[in-house]
Every structure is written in C-alpha cells, then in structure tokens.
Amino acid sequence: MKILFVSPEGLPFSKTGGLADVVEGLPKALAELGHDVAVVLPRYRNTKVANVVVPSLTIPTGSALRFPAIVDGTIVKGVRYFFVDDREYFDRDQLYGVGGADYPDNAERFAEFSRATIELAKRLWMPDVIHAHDWQTALVPVLLRTQYAADPVLRPVPVVFTVHNLGYHGLFDRDVLERVGLPQSLFAVEAMEFYGGVNFLKGGLVFADYLTTVSRKYAEEIQTPEFGHGLDGVIRSRADRLVGILNGVDYSAWNPETDEYITVRYSARDLTGKQTCKKDLLRVFQLPAENLNRPVAGIISRFVDQKGFDLVAEICDELMEEDLGLVALGTGDPKYEEMFRRLAQQFPARVGVRIAYDNALAHKIEAGADMLLMPSRYEPCGLNQIYSLRYGTVPIVRATGGLDDTIEPYDEAAGRGTGFKFEAYDGRALLDAVRQALRVFRDPKAWRKLMLNGMACDFSWRTSALEYLKLYEKARPEAAGRIPRAAGAIQ
C-alpha cells in the first residue's frame, strides 16, 4: 500500500512536540512492514535538502497566486520525504510563531501547504491513502471533498485525519475563507463555521473519511464537554468514524540498554547501572550524594496548566515535607518556572531545576530518577510515561487519556501493575498518589518488582502500525465508491 503522510512537523527534520515523534515512528514502522510510505513537510529554515523536483507549483490563495517548489528530500529508514518550499512562508525563526504568539499568516501558510500536498500527490506520488495530522493539514480533506471533489484521480483516495491535541484548533476570522481561496459556502455549521469564526480543525473532523486520536481513552474523552473544547458535538456526530490508536515509542532511541546519553547502560537483567545513572543525575543538577538514599522524582514537561502544574503548585510545600528529591526539566508559564526556581532556592539540597529544552538531560532524568510525575489535566497520549517504564522509572500519573491507557495501577497484594494513578483533578489526590509511591519505595523487593513490570511492557510502533493498516484498508473500498456531492451541497 502507498501511504502519504502530511504533517506540519516531523523528525528528523523539525519538531516542537510529540507530533514530530509520531510522524517519524509510525511511517518507519509501516515501511518495515513492507509498505511504500512518503511524508510531506514544510521546508523550514533548518531543513537541509536541495533536490528540487518541481520548481514551481501554481497555488491559488484568494485573489493572488503563489508558486512554491517541491523538494525531494531523501529516504530515511525506508521512508521517502518531500518538502513544500516557500521561503517567505517557512524560512522563519520558529515553526508556528514567536514570543508566545502565532504568526498572523498561519492560515495562509498552511492552506498553501495543504494545496501543495494535493498537487504533489497528483504529479509525483499518488497514494492509496492520505494520512493528515492536526489543524495545519485539516484543509487536505476539506479541499479533497469540495474543490477537488470531481477530480476522478483523487476522488477514490481516502483521508485519515489524526487529532493529536484537540486544544489546538486553527481558529480564524470569517474573512480567512476569501484569503485562502475557499468558498463562502464552507461558513456553515455543518462545515467550518465555529462561533462566528472559521475553524480549520473542525473542517478536518467533518470532511475526513476516518478520524483517529492517539489513545483509546482520549477518543472517549473528546466526545465530552469537559475535554471537547467546543467540538464534542461534532465528534459525537462522527463517533462511528473515530478510532483511538495508542502512539508507539521508538525503542531504538529510548532504551537504557543502548542509550548514548546516559553514563552507564543497564537492563532488566542487570539493574546496577541505574544507581550509577542516579548518581550522575545528581551531579548534573548539583545535588548532594545523600539523595542516593532517598527517592528522586523527575519531571520532564512543558510547565503549563494542561500538564497539571496548578496541582503541583497547590501541594508543593507539603510535597517537600516528604523525604523526597525532585528534579525538573522544562519551560512554560513564567509562574511555574518561578515556582520551581523558588523550590530550588528553598530546598537546595533536594530540588534541582533546569528551565530549558534539553534532550540529553531528558534521557538522564529517565534513567536516573526513581519516579516520574505526570499529573496532567488531560493528556492525549503522553510519551514520557512510556519511556519511563522501559527505564525502570515508575510513573505517577493522573488517570486521563493515554496515561490511563498505558499505566496499570500497582496492586501490592498481587505484585501486578506498573505505576500509580489518581482520578480526581485535585492536589490532594496527587499528594496521596505520591505518598503511596513513597511507601512502596521503602520496600526494596516490592519496588524492584514494580520496576521490572514496567520494563517488560512493549509499546513499540509495530503494534500501532498494524492498527492503522486495518483502518486504511477499511477506508479504501468506501472511498473508491464515493460519488460527487449532489448539487446544492457544499462546493
């Protein structure tokens, strides 16, 4: 099968979050299963490729035309990469915005990207299925089912649309339809209208053949007002086309047996290296060696409300009354950055903080910490808790989204489970979960069993890839039988 991925970011070329990891890992797994896979990305500033295969596409954008090029990148781990090259739109300091604000022309940028992807498919690489990701590519299904609906070549091609985080919509004023060359008929409640504006993500939800999100639990949650961000009604109306497929992880990058970033490698067969990694972690954070004898909890995250840091702020003083070390890595809301700085100043022997994005240090925390805190308000999938399992670092998580799907609560009597979970979004519930973990930590035999349970888990991409293949096959015969929209429908 020929599968074309379209995404605003993807490793090894560009990244701001977990989407990039998915767009690296899933295509690679599909290629390993024998399928022909290509990925289309914008050519951002740091993307070093030069093989131009289409010097100029003609792309309508409202009253003007634009002329992006198509660059054939390279084949990486069996996956072919193409890039949409428009320096004015994509040769910028960041991918989506600077200084905490989106670029004001993001609608135009990603509308062009979506149109160019469709033209690329027609000219260079016609797929059996297109897999689009997040609001920046939501116009791919919109365009295919409206302005390209009568195209006999494209009409049979199904589109699977994956929502990685429903909190990001791509919401613009009504005049955006004219600016990006879309018909005013799309400004309708059954199409892209959203409380007086135009919602790109909604367009993808309405027009794609099938919808997926990145865990089973999150697929359930986004159909509720609490987690639906105003789109829960739209999603419920398409519930028969919605599937939750858990993200996989790349164990070639996240594995204590092979990790190039940690000071000593170790495995479930020989855990002695983990204590050496803990010693190295304390050295990096300049914490005294006395912490080797107490549990150390790690945090690797964006410091924002979604990740549960309002709960951490609520209980941080009580938390530090426990015999516990804490290391935190991340950036985000200034009030949470300041909270961690205050804790480090108040408890310099037990708290270390690094306000930064640092991939190497993230690996050291996964290997050297005893526990990982992820108290998220919502978490579509989450990756760090899965990495932690492989490193024998016990997750403490809230039972939401992918955190709920991946962590089995520890049962002391039976010796089963992989971590600790709490249900209520409440600081007291988080503190109780931490205290439960600390209690088990004081029993070395029980803690070792808990570590080994996690290290035995397998969340590799192959399992997820097989689930996606089932969905692609299901979508193909339906798309092949599609007929053009009747007169009077959205055009």
Contact 287, 293 (CB under 8 A): no
Contact 127, 3 (CB under 8 A): yes
CA gap 392, 441 in Å, rounded: 13
Mean pLDDT across 294-312: 95
Q: What is the pLDDT of residue 267?
A: 97
Q: For the chain, what is the domain count? A: 2
Q: What is the pLDDT of residue 483?
A: 46
User: Are 468 and 448 in the same domain?
Assistant: no
User: Are 136 and 239 in the same domain?
Assistant: yes
User: Are 221 and 283 in the same domain?
Assistant: no
User: Are 391 and 474 in the same domain?
Assistant: no
Q: What is the domain range of residue 120?
A: 2-248+462-480
User: Are 57 and 88 in the same domain?
Assistant: yes
User: Are 139 and 95 in the same domain?
Assistant: yes
CA gap 329, 298 in Å, rounded: 8
Q: What is the pLDDT of residue 16?
A: 85
Return the DSSP state at 412.
T
User: Are 454 and 476 in the same domain?
Assistant: no
User: Are 60 and 161 in the same domain?
Assistant: yes
User: In this model, does residue 488 exceed pLDDT 80?
Assistant: no
> Taking the model in full, what pTM does it have?
0.90
User: Are 97 and 241 in the same domain?
Assistant: yes
Mean pLDDT across 248-273: 95
Q: What is the pLDDT of residue 484?
A: 41
User: Per the domain annotation, does 369 fall within a domain?
Assistant: yes
User: Are 446 and 470 in the same domain?
Assistant: no
Q: What is the pLDDT of residue 197?
A: 97
Residues 187-245 pLDDT 10s: 999 999 999 999 999 999 999 999 999 999 999 999 999 999 999 999 999 999 999 99
Q: What is the pLDDT of residue 486?
A: 33
CA Rg value for the chain = 24
Nearest CA among 335, 418, 120, 378 for reference residue 229: 378
Residues 375-397 pLDDT 10s: 999 999 999 999 999 999 999 99
User: Are 367 and 396 in the same domain?
Assistant: yes
User: In this model, does residue 419 exceed pLDDT 90?
Assistant: yes
Mean pLDDT across 135-158: 95
User: Are 104 and 211 in the same domain?
Assistant: yes
CA gap 253, 359 in Å, rounded: 11
Question: What CATH code is carried by the domain that includes residue 397?
Answer: 3.40.50.2000
For residue 261, how many other CB atoms are within 10 A of its CB? 15
Q: What DSSP string runs through 42-85? A: E--TT----EEEES---EEETTEEE--EEEEEEEETTEEEEEEE
Contact 455, 449 (CB under 8 A): no
